[in-house]
Amino acid sequence: MVEKHEVFEKKYWSASDLKKPVTVEIETVNVEVLKARDGTTSRKPVVYFRGTRKAFAVNATNFDLICDVTGESNTDNWPGHQIELHASTTPMGGQMVPCVRVRAPSKAKAKAPPPPISDESEDPADGIEFA
């Protein structure tokens, strides 16, 4: 058996996709014309991630959050940066509704630092002659 989301896959990430936070690497950012539920259209940045088919339509709040996480205010500089997508809620039309928010990847998912240099490594003084 399959679940509905597997058969009717949506193009964009939604809160219901995020049972747990997911760390993704930004591959590209395009400004695209998107149609709202009320039929109006607007231009928004759409972020595409390495290794996923789903894109992320970015609103003003998430734009600012991505800028904070990446340290980059220009979307041209976002590719290569990792962000974490997580489900949250936000007020809309007098109700709290599900949404996707952005934050820095948790330390557990962040890249591990390189291993320390062992004592068996090459001596930096090798090859230097002392008088």
42 forms beta bridges with 34
Distance of CA 60 to the CA centre of its chain: 15
Q: Report pLDDT digits (tens) over 45-96.
A: 999 999 999 999 999 999 999 999 999 999 999 999 999 999 999 999 999 9
Q: Report pLDDT digits (tens) over 24-36.
A: 999 999 999 999 8
